[in-house]
Structure 1
Amino acid sequence: MYKSDGNPRTISSSARRQVDNMVKEKQKLFQANNGIPVHLKGGAKDAILYRLTMALTVFGSGFVVYELLNAAMPKKA
């Protein structure tokens, strides 16, 4: 869109946050040979996500088995 004077509008923000490059630090963290599995090296957040994923997997598997057994059994009229 153009203003009435013919100049194009520019979009700008008042402040931009500077982001530090953390790649080298993350590489050191994830490549360290400290006996921790790579999916848990991110800290507490990774541990919580891992446990939540495992809980949902176990619950989902149990629910599938329950539904399969429920579908396999004849309904009593």
Structure 2
Amino acid sequence: MSMYRHFMALRHISRRSIGTSVCRQVDNKVPLKQKMFQEDNGIPIHLKGGPKDALLYRATMTLTIAGTAYLLYELFNAACPKKKD
């Protein structure tokens, strides 16, 4: 019987959660986000998230344009090698 009791105690311990923190109830924000993104207010979908989205969009466009310009510059340099004296 002792072995059975140890097995049951182990089974009980394994079912308990490992963390000691209390479970918190989190509000469901999905319906609010759906309402915000589905609203027809003339703003493009990639900018409806607010100022953070606008900043991220501008940074992405700036890096894309700068990278394309640098690529074209390097391609031009590779296509037109410098003359040796």
| TM-score, reference length from structure 1 | 0.81
Task: Return the alpha-carbon distance in structure 1 between the equivalents of residues 63 and 73 of structure 2.
Answer: 15
2:3 aligned partner: none
Q: 1:47-66 residue pairs with structure 2 within 5 A? A: 47-66=54-73
How many correspondences in the alignment?
Answer: 73
Tell me the percent identity. 58
Task: Please state which structure has a larger fraction of its residues in helix.
Answer: 2
| Partner amino acid, structure 2, of 1:13 | T
| TM-score normalised over the length of structure 2 | 0.74
- Gap regions ≥5 residues in structure 2: 1-5
Give the counterpart letter for 2:56 in structure 1. L
Could you say which structure has the larger radius of gyration? 2
Q: Give the equivalent residue in structure 2 for 1:14.
A: 21
Gaps of 5+ in 1: none
| Correspondence for 1:45 | 52
Alpha-carbon offset, residue 19 of structure 1: 2.0
